[in-house]
Amino acid sequence: MHREQTRVITIGDKKIGGGNPILIQSMTNTKTENVEETVSQILQLEKAGCDIIRCAVPTMEAARAIEEIKKQIHIPLVADIHFDYRLAIAAMEHGADKIRINPGNIGGKDNIRAVVEKAKEKNIPIRVGVNSGSLEKEYLEKYGRVTAQGIVESALDKVGMIEEFDYHNLVISIKSSDVLMCVAAHEELAKQTDYPIHIGITESGTLSSGNIKSSVGLGILLYMGIGDTMRVSLTGNPVEEIKTAKMILKTLGLKKGGVEIVSCPTCGRTQIDLIGLANSVEEMVADFDLDIKVAVMGCVVNGPGEAKEADIGIAGGKGEGLIIKKGQIVRKVKEEELLKNLRYELEHWRD
C-alpha cells in the first residue's frame, strides 16, 4: 500500500496520507512541563522546517502544559504517552492534536476504551507505536528473536485493540534500529494495511552514524512509496533532524524549496579555505527559501565549468574568486568578499 493509496488523516491543520506531501516530524528534548523552554525549542524547529512536533507526556503537569504550549506555536502537537492511560486523556483535553500510545502497555480493555472514547469525542488521531526493543515475549518465542514479521504482527494486534471500539482514525509506526529489518517490516506492513505510516529508524545514533542510517533506511522506504510522515532520530539537537529530513526528501524529488548546495571535494589545486567557505555558505543559505542550486568550487580552473549546472556559483582562487550566474562569470572579487557577494545575489534573485 503506497502513499497515494493510504487513508487521509487530519492532524491539527495538516492532512497526511492519500498522496499528501510527506510531513517532517521531530520531538522536543526539553521537559514538557517547562513551557518556556519547550516553546522556544519548537519555534526553532518550526523555523528549520518542522511540520509536526511530538512532546513527551510523563506527568499530569506535562499534559496540562500542552494547553499553554499550543497557544504559542504554529504546528500540530503530538503527545507521547507510555503506561498511564489517564495522561492520554488529559493530553487530549488540553489540546493535543494527536496522541502516540502503545495500547499494549496502558493496562487492559477498559483503559483503551476510555482513551478511544475521548479521541472519538474530539476526533483526535491515535498513532499506534511499536518498537522492536519492546517486542512482546509471545512474538520473541514464536520467531525465536526480534523479526520483521513479529514487529508487524505486534503492530497490527495493537491496531486491532483500537478498531475493536470502531475507531479508525489511526497512524501506524513501527521502529527498529536495524535498518534492513526496519525496511522489511515496513514492506510487510504496507501490504497489510491502508493506514498512514510514520517512518523512522529508532535509536539511530549520533549526528554522523544516525544521519547515515536514517538516510539509507528512510531513503529506501520513501523510494518504494512507503511513508506519510517521517522523523530522523538523532542523539543531538533536534534541528539537525529537520535538516537531514529535508535533504532526504529533496534528494528523492519529494520536496521543493530551499537552497541546494553542491561543492567540490577539494584537491591539491585548492588555494582557499574551501571547507570553511562551504560551511559558511550552508549556514547563510538557510535564511533563504529559494528553490535554486548554489555551487561552491575550490579553483578557477574547473570551477566555472562545474558550476554551469548551478543557478549561482562561487569559485575560489588565490586570494580572489569568481561569482558565476547561470554558467556565466559575472565578476571577480576578493576572497573575503565572496560570501557578501553571494548573499547579494541571493537577496536579488527574484528581482
What's the pLDDT tens digit per position in 228-239?
Answer: 999 998 888 899
**Cβ 53 vs Cβ 75: under 8 Å:** yes
Mean pLDDT, rounded, for 184-213: 88
Percent of the chain topping pLDDT 70:
92
- The three-state DSSP-derived secondary structure of 75-96 is CCEEEECCCCHHHHHHHHHCCC
Q: Lowest-pLDDT range, 254-263, 303-312, 336-345?
A: 303-312
Compute the average pLDDT of residues 244-250.
Answer: 91
Whole-number Cα distances in Å, 54 to 66, 75, 214, 224? 11, 10, 18, 26
Given a cut of 70, whether residue 300 has pLDDT beyond it is no
**pLDDT mean across residues, the chain:** 87
Question: DSSP code of 194?
Answer: -
User: At which residue does the C-alpha cell 521543493 appear?
Assistant: 256
Cβ atoms < 10 Å from Cβ of 20: 17
CATH topology of domain 260-347: Sulfite Reductase Hemoprotein; domain 1 (3.30.413)
C-alpha cell at 211: 544521519
Q: Between 338-347 and 274-285, two packed helices, what is the crossing angle to 10 degrees?
A: 30
Distance of CA 289 to the CA centre of its chain: 18
Q: How far apart are CA 97 and CA 200, in angstroms?
A: 20
- Higher pLDDT pick, 106 / 302: 106
What's the CATH number of domain 3-251, 1.10.287.1080, 3.30.300.30, 3.20.20.20, 3.30.360.10?
3.20.20.20
Does an H or E element contain 309, and which? none
Domain extents for the chain?
3-251, 260-347
Q: Averaged over 216-227, what is the pLDDT? A: 95
- Structure pTM? 0.84
Tell me which range, 77-86, 280-289, 321-330, is most confidently predicted by mean pLDDT: 77-86
